[in-house]
Amino acid sequence: MDKVDLCFAPATELAGAIRSKKLSSVEITSTVLERIAALEPKLNAFAHLAAAQAMDAAAAADSALAKGDSLGPLHGIPVTIKDLEPVRGMPFERGTYLFRGEVAPADNVAVARLREAGAIILGKTTTPEFGWKGVSHSPLTGVTHNPWKLGLNAGASSSGAGVGAAAGYGPLHQGSDGAGSIRMPAHFCGVYGIKPTYGRVPQSPMTPSDNTVHLGPLTRTVADAALMLKVMAGRHPDDQSSLEGPPADYPAQLANRPRAPRIAFSPDLGHARVDPDVAALVRKAAEAFETELGWRVEQVKTPWGPKGPELARFFWPAHYSRYADRVAESRDRLDPGFVACFEAGQHITLPDYLKMKVAKLAYCAEIHHFFEDWDFLLTPAVSVAAFPATQLQPDHWPQHKWDWMSWAEFSYPFNLAQNPAASVPCGFTASGLPVGLQIVGRRCDDLGVLQMSAAFEAARPWASARPPIA
């Protein structure tokens, strides 16, 4: 295995190589860090690279193996953490000058579990300011570039995580998703990302975002995502919304196919605009579940769909009101789009919020009733392919001061309703840009979404596709 191949190797393969002593953690980590050093001036996926600490941890991992210590499932495997999650001793700046220089005193739960499983933390990956938008740019870290074409949007808010997965910065990358922030980078960067059911991966501290932010993995293979998700998942007392039941053994059950799944397909949720090249690739991918996997897929109407935009455009600015004191003192250092979004929420009253909360709960109930008749729903992951990362919308798309969600109508419904949803690579546009198919499952059926993703991956492999970077 040459150095580049090692950087793109899946965690499932590297774990076995470490245990059999065919590869050392020091060898893997140093090779990945070498690649990061060579490409970071171009891609800008890291908010903080902890190279020295990573090498120390890798040496300790090799020492533990030599002594015969008990090994975790991720022993010696490199992983990155999005800079919306605290990692002890590392900067915790959240893409904004407002928190520049802040250092986290402790790991959050997911990070602690990754460490306990033996993972080597490489550093913190980039995110837009507060994770507020789906575009890979922040005032603090600048543009994070799409590895398929520099200058284009890599997706967000898990920007650096998506780029890291695509560019060979090791196999495992932690992301979070409040309105599509795992699935959008997966779509734009041509990798796999799954937003599990809300509460599957606990949060500590919890965020006041009305239970819409889901933590999950971005990887090059479904098996790696299953491995990483199993490590992070499971209830925790710090998070009262964490799911009580233990996570399934995702890696062990991944190859089992759902029996006669009822699969629905919606090209537009009854209201969403989709670029023709994206729509064509997604339709062909949906057809593959019939032609290549032997399952029936039925195009359906989703009566709840058109109600989503009003809800999303209400709650998104409403929840950023919590930064009111900081915005007032630092407006000139903030993303102008974030300021416009924040200002759009300033007129919202408590009665307004409670009224819309009732409407949201009814909307979520409609989605869950839909899934009484269907096991899975297939849609586009995102309406457009990558566009310039300095813009909120593509040039041919309706322009708005802050509304980037007009091209992400397929993702946020399943944050509101808390369903598991994944973006799987399903092809490239004529200009060579990746496109993702979204697979949505019933609430708590994370295993089913992983299994459907793995079945599609087996029929239409994607992990060998690498972006045209050095």
Q: What are phi and psi of 311, to 5 degrees?
A: -65, -45
Q: Select which of 159, 181, 383, 406 is catalytic.
A: 181
**Residue 149 known to be catalytic:** no
Do residues 312 and 345 make contact, with C-beta atoms less than 8 angstroms apart? no
Q: Under 8 Å CB-to-CB from 303, ≥6 apart: which residues?
A: 270, 366
Q: Any catalytic annotation for residue 157?
A: yes
Q: CA triplet 409, 178, 111: central angle to 5 degrees?
A: 145
> Quick count: other Cβ atoms within 10 Å of Cβ 283?
18
Report how far residue 385's alpha carbon sits from residue 266's, in angstroms, rounded to the nearest whole number: 18
Nearest to 24 by CA among 50, 69, 55, 49: 55
Distance from C-alpha of 159 to C-alpha of 175, rounded to nearest angstrom = 9
φ, ψ of residue 130 in degrees (nearest 5): 60, 10
Q: How far apart are CA 49 and CA 122, in angstroms?
A: 6
Separation in Å, CA 244 to CA 196, 259, 285: 15, 26, 35
Catalytic residue among 82, 133, 149, 195: 82
How many other CB atoms sit within 10 Å of the CB of residue 226?
27
321 catalytically annotated:
no
Judged by DSSP in three states, 436 sits in strand
DSSP secondary structure of 443-465: TT-HHHHHHHHHHHHHHS--TT-
How far is residue 412's CA from residue 430's CA, in Å, rounded to a whole number? 27
- Nearest CA-CA partner of 93 in 130, 123, 122: 130
| 8 A C-beta contact, residue 436 and residue 427 | no
Neighbours of 276 (CB within 10 A): 8
Catalytic residue among 136, 157, 411, 453: 157
Positions of E strands within 61-108: 78-82
Q: Are residues 447 and 434 in contact, defined by beta-carbon separation less than 8 angstroms?
A: no
Residues belonging to the active site: 82, 157, 181
